[in-house]
Structure 1
Amino acid sequence: MSEHNHVVKKDGELDMSKMDDAINRIDDGEKDRILNDFDSFKSYLHKRIQLAQSIGLNEEQLAQAAEKVAGYLAANEEPRNSEEKLLQELWKVGTQEEQHNLAHLLLKLAQGGTVQ
């Protein structure tokens, strides 16, 4: 993949403008596999968080990315289970600050209760 497709720049900063492209590159079958079961979704997030931390992203950067992904999911994907439906409803009624806090909570949940 060429450099212009990366969400993380060489300096370690996130390029949030690339997030939508990165999400859209996920194959529909892979999206279904990830989203069909809430435990699969949490596991997928956990692995992505570990990868992001290994390249030096901090908690706030992770929360910003989680916020972008959650916004995308709320706007573009139908919930596939009751947990996703609840998250979507919370997202839609939340203020921007509450959505940001929810993103932090999603990170914590995906990490098994600990955010570093």
Structure 2
Amino acid sequence: MVFDFDLKQINTNWDNWKRYLGQAVEFAEELGMSRERINNLAAQAGSVLAENVPPANPEQKTLKELWEVADKDEQQVIARLMTKLASKSIS
């Protein structure tokens, strides 16, 4: 799979962002990663994004606020839900 995208456009449009994340999940699965590993990586990425990247749209702002009030277990749930949502976005 080849990623051909304009990061600025992907980051500012929620549907494009979900589609891009879905492609990343699909790519990871094609590489043989387990869903559990993908979810763990998503949780790590969520932490990095919440700490370092300003939200580009209202949906990302809401997600960041939820992430910041969640404990570690709840963040894992958010990460699992985001990978599930993202996978559904490319179907």
Q: Same fold (TM over 0.5)?
A: yes
Q: Identity of paired residues, percent?
A: 33
Residue 33 (structure 1) aligns with: 9
* Structure 1 unaligned residues grouped into runs of 5+: 1-29
* TM-score, with length taken from structure 2: 0.86
Distance 1:88 1:35 in 2: 14
Q: 1:92 aligns with which of 61, 68, 91?
A: 68
Using structure 1 for the length normalisation, give the TM-score: 0.68
Which digits, 9 at most, give the CA deviation of each residue in 1:25-56, with x for residues without a partner?
A: xxxxx542321111111011011111100011
Alpha-carbon deviations, 1:55-112, whole Å to 9, x = none? 1111110001111111111111111111001100000000000001110000110011
User: Residue 33 of structure 2 corresponds to which residue in structure 1?
Assistant: 57
Q: Distance in 1 between matches of 2:75 and 2:61?
A: 15
Aligned position for 1:112 = 88
| Distance (Å, rounded) in 2 between the aligned partners of 1:69 and 1:46 | 14
What RMSD, in angstroms, separates the aligned Cα atoms of the two structures? Answer: 1.7
